Amino acid sequence: MIPACFSQPNTNTLSGTSQVPKNLVTCIYQIQLWDSPTYLTLTWSKTLFSHTLTVAIHAPHLFSITISLYPSTFSFFRNRPGSKSIHLTHHHPRRRIKLYWDFTRPTFAHNSAEPDSSFYIVISCNGRLEFFLGDLIDELAKRCSGLPVAPQVFPEPPLLSMREHVFGHKSYVSRARFLGSRHEIGIDCNGGVLKVKVDGRTSLVVKRLAWKFRGNERIYVDGIEVEFFWDVFNWVNNGDNANGHGVFIFQVGDGGVWPEMMGPEKRLMRKSLSSVAAGGGSTPMTSPSPSCSSVLQWAEESNDGGRSSCSSSTRSCGSNGGFSLLLYAWKKD
C-alpha cells in the first residue's frame, strides 16, 4: 500500500506507533525582519504517513505554517512549487511576509527528514529577500524575477542551533555542520559503555554509565574544540523502557539558542510524558523531562554563568560562530 494514495490518519495526535516520527529535525536560524533580528525555526518531520516542514517566526511570534512534502517520494505524483502570503494587519499594519518553496524532487540522506539538495525555501518581507535555504537558485530566479536571488547577493543564513530526535536501539546517527564543515555524528550505547564517533572515528569512550550517567568532556573535530554533554539518566533509571531517551549536546563556541518546542516536537514530548504517567512513574515531570532540563541548563551555565534559561535563551550567537547540536536519542524495539 502506498500511504500517499490514501487519506492520512489524524496527525494532531501520536496515539499510534505509525505516527511516531522516524526522524525529527529542528533548525534555528537568526534572520532580519524589517532590520530587526529574530529567530526562524524550521522543523522537518518524517513519519510513515507524512513528511512535513513547519516554519515559525519567534520573538515576537508572528506566524507558524506547515508545508506537506508528500508525495514527492513517488515519481508519478509530484509536489508543485508553492507560496504563501501572510499579511500582518493586526500588530504590523502594511507589513507582508511571503514564503516560496519548491520540494518537487528533493534528495535526502538515509532516514533524514531534512533535504540535502534540490529544493529551496524562501522568506521575503515587503518584496525584500530575507531568508534563502537550498540550492535551486536558478529556478527561484525564474519564478520570482523581482527578488534579488544570487549566491553572492544572499549568503547562507547563520544556523545557531539544531535539535534532532533520532530513533534506534543501541546506535544513533546525526549529520551536522560545525563551522562550515559537515560531519556524521554517531552515538553508540551498549553494555554500559557510551561511544561518540565523528565521521566513523571514535572520539570519546565513557565506561560505567551506571555511575557516569551525566557528564561532559571536550573533544576535537577537525581541530575545532567541541564541548560534549551527555545525560542518559532515563536509560539507566528505566532500563529497557521504550519511551526513555538520552540527551546529548555538542557545543561550539558560545553555543546556540533554544526556542520553545512546537508542532511535531511538542506532540512527541507530550506522548512521552503521557506514557510515563500511564506507567505509574513516580518522578515528577514539570518539563519535557528532568533529564532534558538538567543537561540543557548545565550546558548553558558552563558558558554564561546561568544567565539564560534552557528553553528561551536570547543570546545572539550568529556573529561569533557559536553553534549547538542537541540530540534526543529515543530507544525503540
Most distant pair of Cα atoms in the chain: their distance: 60
| Amino acid symbol at 222 | D
What are the backbone angles phi and psi of residue 229, rounded to the nearest 5°? -115, 140
Contact partners, residue 93, CB within 8 Å, separation at least 6? none
Q: Which residue has the higher pLDDT, 295 or 71?
A: 295
Q: Which residue has the higher pLDDT, 101 or 316?
A: 101
Q: Is 214 exposed, middle or buried (0-12, 13-18, 19+ CB in 10 A)?
A: middle
Contact partners, residue 167, CB within 8 Å, separation at least 6? 20, 21, 22, 23, 329, 330, 332
C-alpha distances (whole Å) from 240 to each of 218, 268, 273 are 29, 19, 17
Rounded to 5°, the CA angle 36-180-148 comes to 50
pLDDT at 198: 93
pLDDT at 20: 66
pLDDT at 140: 74
Does the pLDDT at position 103 exceed 60?
yes
Task: Name the nearest CA neighbour of 162 among 330, 295, 288, 326.
Answer: 326
Does the pLDDT at position 164 exceed 70?
yes
55-64, 67-76, 148-157, 295-304: range with highest mean pLDDT: 55-64
Residue with cell 510515563: 276
Q: Which residue has the higher pLDDT, 278 or 83?
A: 83
Does the pLDDT at position 222 exceed 90?
no
Q: Is 315 exposed, middle or buried (0-12, 13-18, 19+ CB in 10 A)?
A: middle
Does the pLDDT at position 327 exceed 90?
yes
pLDDT band at 248 (very low <50, low <70, confident <90, very high): very high
pLDDT at 75: 46
Task: Name the nearest CA neighbour of 231 among 293, 162, 147.
Answer: 293
Handedness of CA 108, 288, 261, 32 (dihedral sign): negative
Does the pLDDT at position 125 exceed 60?
yes
Rounded CA separation 153/150 (Å): 5
pLDDT band at 314 (very low <50, low <70, confident <90, very high): very low
Q: List the domains of the chain with CATH numbers.
A: 19-143 (no CATH), 161-331 (2.40.128.180)
